[in-house]
Amino acid sequence: MLLETLSVMRDLPRLHEIATVLIRYGWGDVVRILGLGKTLQRAGRLLHWQAPEEIARLDLPVRIRLALTDLGPTFVKLGQVLATRVDMFPIAWIEEFEKLHNRVPAVPYAEVQPGFEEAFKAPLEEVFESFEEEAFAAASIAQVHRGVLKDGSRVVVKVRRPGIVDKIEADLRILGHLARLLELEMPEARRYHPGKIVQQLRRSLMRELDLFKEARNIDRFARNFAGDATVRVPKVYWDYCTETVNVQEELQGIPGSDLEAARAAGLDLELLAARGGDAVLTMILLHGYFHADPHPGNVIYLPGNVVGMIDFGMVGRLTDRRREQLIDFLNALVLKDEEGMINVLTVWSGEAEIDEEKLGYDISELVFSYDDLSLKDIQIGPLLSEITAIMRDNNLALPPDLTLLFKALITLEGLGRQLTPEFHMVDHMEPFIRQVYARRYTPAALARRARHGLREVLEVVTGLPRDLARLFRQARRGSLKIDLDVKRLDHFGLQLNQAANRLTVGVLTASLVIGSSIIMTVPKAPWGLSLLAAIGFILAFANSLWIVYSIWRSGKD
Active site members = 293
Helix, coil or strand: residue 101: coil
Per the DSSP assignment, residues forming a β-bridge with 247 are 157
Q: Which ranges constitute the DSSP H helices of 336-442?
A: 338-348, 356-369, 380-393, 400-419, 425-440
Phi, psi of 254 (to 5 degrees): -105, 125
Query: Got the DSSP string for 163-181?
Result: THHHHHHHHHHHHHHHHHH
CA distances from 309 to 102, 149, 234, 408 (A): 19, 22, 8, 14
Q: Using CA atoms, how far apart are residues 151 and 391, in angstroms rounded to an integer? A: 54
Residue type, 212: F
Q: Which ranges constitute the DSSP H helices of 121-192?
A: 124-127, 164-185
Helix, coil or strand: residue 226: coil
DSSP H or E stretch at residue 129: strand 128-131
Helix, coil or strand: residue 54: helix
Tell me how many degrees the CA angle 359-433-268 measures, rounded to the nearest 5: 115
Q: Using CA atoms, how far apart are residues 303 and 307, in angstroms rounded to an integer? A: 9
Helix/strand/coil percentages in the chain, nearest 5: 65, 10, 25
Residues in the chain: 557
Residue 86: which of 347, 418, 408 has the closest Cα? 408
Please list, in sequence order, all residues whose beta carbon lies within 8 angstroms of the beta carbon of residue 346, skipping any fewer than 6 positions away: 354, 356, 359
Helix, coil or strand: residue 158: strand
Count CA atoms within 13 Å of residue 204 on its CB side. 27
Under a CB-based contact definition with an 8 Å cutoff, are residues 300 and 310 in contact? yes
SS (H, E, C) 412-481: HHHHHHHHCCCCCHHHHHHHHHHHHHHHHCCHHHHHHHHHHHHHHHHHHHHHHHHHHHHHHHHHHHCCCC
DSSP 8-state class, residue 161 = P
